[in-house]
């Protein structure tokens, strides 16, 4: 979320993982929980909060929600090193394995888990599938650094996923929400869905900040230099992503308050497939990358890139397509609450495996300069 990992923080690469996170990101689950509680309190005790938030809309999305979604996407996309995407051709094994895991295995696994655990809850099921389609482009850079993985490879895979989502997200949404359930004889059309609303949401909430992030990087680097841009500018705007996320969660929970307090079991049901997904996806990705002959650094990069999800985009699409009070939006909000502690734990697992398994040697030393 924020630009959090410096040159291994204050303790070197072997320092405790949490000590290498900024205070903002170290307490991210607590911040998210506090935002949820605040939102629930506003929804319960502030009269007419829903009418106030929906007074001005952009399409079907309230203006406060739209601003929050754009704010949490822009800093993340301003970090991506778009100019280095072409360099991935030097390691085709990593590229193709990452594409396979991110755009074939990951969405398919989430589809299976969603139908397994939420077959009787179409809105939650759809929301979980939408989370599975949104590949990680933000927090993965943090997990990548904490696990002593390949920072440059991580940035490049993030850049590829950022661009690929523009072209593929709506098509995959149509496939997994309409076409595949129809082929399997499942009742997949028990939720309102069409391709254009998802396409529009992706274009607005990913396309606009993606273009803004790309232009910001191009202009900033050309005028002030890469050192100023990555070591001074990015740390200043990095926390804005977290603020946007927390603001969005407050608003979502203010509007979802009655549904949540009347049925807290639903939140737990959403959490189960997400928990299984993050753990299983990371383990499969780590195993396949190691079997493919990648170094530890690139194995960890592939695993965390594949296991993480872009919950900002998932929330944006769910809100833009089904509305802020929908079950799909609630599933998107639960995502980061589960993902953050699980992937922090997997960082420890990755570092433990680093010294207990054999890996191919890294092709060349990788730079650890600050992003």
Does 342 reside within a domain? yes
The pLDDT tens digits along the chain (371 residues) read 544 444 344 445 555 555 655 666 667 678 878 887 888 888 778 777 767 776 666 665 667 877 887 887 788 778 877 776 666 567 788 999 999 999 999 999 999 999 999 999 999 999 999 999 988 766 676 678 778 888 778 877 877 887 788 778 888 988 998 889 989 988 754 455 566 766 776 777 778 888 898 899 999 999 999 999 999 999 898 888 878 878 877 887 777 666 667 778 888 999 999 999 999 999 999 999 999 999 999 999 999 999 988 877 788 788 778 877 788 888 887 887 788 788 878 988 998 999 899 998 865 444 444 33
> Is residue 172 situated within a structural domain?
yes
Encoded tokens for 170: 């709506």
Burial 54-92 (b: 16+ CB within 10 A, else e): beeeeebbbebbbbbbbbbbbbbbbbbbbeebeebeebe
What is the Cα–Cα distance from 207 to 162, expressed in whole angstroms?
9
Residue 31 belongs to a domain = no
Domain that holds residue 313: 72-223+265-354
Region label for 260, one of left (φ > 0), alpha (ψ between -120 and 50) or beta (otherwise) = alpha
Residue 166 lies in a domain: yes
SS3 breakdown of the chain: % helix, strand, coil, rounded to 5? 75, 0, 20
User: Does residue 251 lie in a domain region?
Assistant: no
Q: Examine residue 152 and state whether it is found in any structural domain, yes or no.
A: yes
The CATH number linked to 297 is 1.20.1530.20
Contacts of 41 (CB under 8 A, 6+ apart): none
pTM: 0.74
332: in domain: yes
Total of domains in the chain: 1
In a domain, 129, yes or no: yes
Give the three-class secondary structure for 205. Answer: helix
């Amino acid at each position: 979320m924020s630009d959090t990992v410096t040159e291994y923080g204050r303790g070197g690469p072997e320092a405790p993982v949490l000590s290498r996170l900024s205070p903002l990101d170290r307490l991210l689950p607590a911040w998210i929980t506090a935002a949820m509680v605040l939102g629930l309190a506003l929804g319960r005790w502030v009269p007419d909060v829903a009418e106030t938030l929906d007074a001005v809309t952009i399409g079907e999305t309230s203006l406060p929600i739209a601003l929050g979604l754009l704010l949490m996407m822009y800093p993340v996309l301003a970090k991506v090193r778009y100019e280095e995407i072409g360099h991935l051709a030097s390691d085709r094994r990593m590229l193709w394995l990452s594409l396979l895991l991110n755009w074939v295995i990951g969405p398919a696994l989430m589809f299976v888990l969603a139908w397994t655990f939420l077959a009787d809850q179409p809105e939650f099921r759809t929301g979980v599938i939408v989370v599975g389609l949104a590949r990680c482009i933000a927090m993965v850079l943090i997990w990548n650094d904490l696990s002593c993985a390949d920072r440059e490879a991580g940035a490049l895979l993030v850049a590829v996923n950022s661009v690929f989502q523009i072209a593929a997200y709506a098509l995959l949404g149509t496939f997994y929400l309409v076409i595949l359930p129809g082929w399997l004889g499942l009742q997949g059309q028990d939720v309102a869905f069409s391709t254009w609303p998802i396409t529009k949401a992706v274009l607005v909430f990913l396309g606009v900040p993606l273009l803004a992030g790309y232009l910001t990087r191009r202009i900033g680097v050309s005028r002030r230099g890469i050192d100023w841009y990555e070591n001074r500018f990015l740390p200043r705007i990095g926390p804005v992503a977290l603020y946007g996320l927390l603001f969005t969660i407050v608003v979502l929970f203010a509007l979802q308050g009655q549904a949540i307090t009347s049925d807290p079991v639903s939140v737990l049901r959403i959490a189960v497939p997400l928990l299984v997904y993050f753990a299983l996806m990371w383990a499969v990705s780590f195993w396949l990358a190691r079997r493919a002959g990648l170094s530890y650094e690139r194995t960890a990069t592939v695993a965390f890139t594949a296991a993480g999800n872009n919950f900002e985009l998932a929330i944006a699409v769910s809100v833009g397509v089904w509305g802020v009070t929908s079950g799909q939006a609630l599933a998107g909000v639960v995502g980061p609450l589960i993902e953050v502690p699980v992937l922090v734990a997997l960082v420890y697992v990755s570092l433990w495996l680093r010294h207990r398994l054999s890996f191919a040697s890294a092709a060349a030393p990788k730079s650890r300069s600050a992003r």
